[in-house]
Structure 1
Amino acid sequence: MEGLRLVSLPRRHIFHQPMKSKRAKPRARASPPTGGPLLFDDTSSGPPPMNNQNYYDSGYNMAGAATGGQEPGVSNLFADPMANAAMMYGSTLANQGKDMVNKEFSRFMSMNKLKHFFAVDTKYVMKKLLLLMFPYTHQDWEVRYHRDTPLAPRHDVNAPDLYIPTMSFITYILLAGIALGIQKRFSPEVLGLCASTALVWIIIEVLVMLLSLYLLTVHTDLSTFDLLAYSGYKYVGMIFTLLCGLLFGSDGYFVALAWSSCALMFFIVRSLKMKILSSISADSIGAGASVKPRFRLYITVASAAFQPIIIYWLTSHLVR
């Protein structure tokens, strides 16, 4: 017993040494089985597989390199020589069609001539309105020319224009709406009927005038715009007649109708006389020397006498 000595170890060595060895032991992880195929890729611990990423990147870069950032289908379309040829042929046909339409349009309605009839100013408009309402004191009715070209309306009060007929037509439609509203008969359909009727009447008048000049082989420098201007001046008298009818009743309406009709007839006869009857001496050679001047006079008088009928037809139903 004396020869044996008990060696006592410290308590921390007895109890903490096994715990230290247990912590140091690494935890083993189970690896996925490699025998069978996987239904889904494990993407929880990192990015998708490198082969898929390379596939998408390469496809996108190829499309971008081929089209400069466009879609692959568009690049194939523009790269096709047949598609390019079809597009060039279509654009050529479109340009040819546009030129043809502009050419045919300029034959019947030249934009330069149309601008000429709208070249007015305030001074011309005031003088022209006074001439339409008081034409009896006017002496010189001849249209002035400069190098075989008629002067613009702002330089010649006798020159026909389309500004006054256009603005007078719009004013007539507005005044007709006011008259219908005062009488509690306004509706969009009735106002549209008034506008379409006035427009149809002036178109019929111009077509009849052109047809008469053509059938009688009257050589004159009257154009379609000239006839449209002279026919459109009646709207000034219609506005005056409507205003007098709304302000003074039926008596004022008939007095204004008589005055505007006589003034317009005088204006039309004196204006068309310089156009239609100016070349009588040139056409007075031959068997029909005494027939053609008489027919020209008939055309002038008939076109002037037709104006009061239209004025009464387009204004009488608006005044009660």
Structure 2
Amino acid sequence: MAAAAGAGAYHQQGHGGQGSKHRLRGAGQHFGDPNQLFDDTSASAPPQPGGYSSQGIDMGFHVNTIFSDPMTNVAMAYGSSIATQGKDIVNKEINRFVSINKLKYFFTVDTTYVMKKLALLMFPYMHQNWEVRYSRDVPLTPRYDINAPDLYIPTMAFITYILLAGMALGIQKRFSPEVLGLCASTALVWVIIEVLALLLTLYLVTVQSDLSTFDLLAYSGYKYVGMILTVLSGLLFGSDGYYVTLAWTSCALMYFIVRSLRMKILSTLGSDDMVTHSARNRMRMYVTLATAAFQPLIIYWLTFHLV
């Protein structure tokens, strides 16, 4: 009897335990959404392991630690010094062949200077004073002195000449990249040859003047202005307009070259040389006249095939 009573109590407890479990599950299912597949655990999210914040990891501390490292600072300073030394070496090598400061002098122009200089190149006969002005033994920049040579007008005139040559070849249905490249290279090579020939001639006749390579390049490059006008006249008015403009621009350029180079070459002559008209003085004048007389030939050679 006692054993039967114990067994009955055991079954009642077991049944009651299982029943309590079913009731708990039933209660959970009764209050939850019957369509919900997963339980919502966002309200009771467990803390992140290790005490890290769930908003992300702040890397600012590590970056500051890197840049505050003495070895990093030394490496950055060493790299900056190497870059500075390399820049100085490059500038030094460039200045051996081309002086940047002197080159800037020839491009110091403004609109007023450009307009006056173009008018002077086309109508130089009325100009009286051809001396380059100085300030504390330094020549004034072209912006303040119309007699100072510049490289802005020759550079822009060269580019305009190439574009005009392309247009002229296109009108005549002879345009091709090879022909246009040949025109550009020929025009550039002729100027280089002219400058080198002038430097060699001045050296052989022992002319000591303040003419630099940039000065000769500027005076030689002014012919592109006359070449542009000559080609335009040929395209608009035919061969008659071409030859009339060629004669005008050639005479104007020769007069301009003689007056400009004469002041440059003869600026270092002493009074004895000017009085006696020495052979060296005559040679310098011959160089000036030959340079001026050579300009119309180059203008014709570089423009006649475009008209």
**TM-score, structure 1 length as denominator?**
0.70
Equivalent residue in structure 1 for 2:215, among 226, 251, 254: 226
State the identity as a percent: 70
1:92-241 equivalent positions in 2, closer than 5 A: 92-241=81-230
- Rounded to whole Å, the distance in 1 between the matches of 2:272 and 2:120 is 31
1:128, 1:117 → 2: CA distance? 13
Task: Classify 1:153/1:18 alpha carbon distance in 2 versus 1 (closer, same or farther; 3 Å).
Answer: closer
Say if 1:86 and 1:284 are closer, same or farther in 2 by CA, change over 3 A.
farther
Which amino acid is the alignment partner of residue 310 of structure 1? I
Which residue number corresponds to residue 7 of structure 1?
none
- In structure 2, how many angstroms separate the alpha carbons of the residues matched to 1:65 and 1:113? 50
Q: Secondary structure of the equivalent of 1:277? A: helix
Instruction: Note if 1:318 corresponds to 2:278.
Output: no
Distance in 2 separating the partners of 1:225 and 1:240? 24
Which of the pair has more CA radius of gyration? 1
State the Cα deviation string for residues 150-202 of structure 1 (Å, max 9, x = none). Answer: 12222222111122111111211111111011111122222222222212221
- 2:293 corresponding residue in structure 1: 305
Distance (whole Å) between structure 1 residues aligned to residue 142 and residue 286 of structure 2: 28
Give the alignment partner of residue 290 of structure 1, picking from 257, 261, 278.
Answer: 278
Q: Distance in 2 between matches of 1:264 and 1:67?
A: 71
Q: Distance in 2 between matches of 1:22 and 1:122?
A: 104
Please list every run of 5 or more consecutive structure 2 residues that lacks an aligned counterpart in the other structure.
Answer: 1-11, 22-48, 51-56
Distance of 1:101 and 1:214 partners within structure 2: 30
Gaps of 5+ in 1: 1-16, 27-52, 55-60
Count of aligned pairs: 270
User: 1:277, CA displacement in angstroms?
Assistant: 2.1
Change (3 A) 1:21 1:99: closer
Distance in 1 (CA, whole Å) between partners of 2:13 and 2:132 is: 129
Q: Structure 1 stretch 143-152 or stretch 226-235: which is displaced more?
A: 143-152
Counterpart-to-counterpart distance in 2, 1:114 and 1:216: 27
Superposition TM-score, scaled by structure 2 size: 0.72
Aligned counterparts of 1:84 and 1:22: Cα–Cα separation in 2: 72
Residues in 2 aligned to 1:18 and 1:108: alpha-carbon distance in whole angstroms: 108
1:307 aligned partner, one-letter code: Q
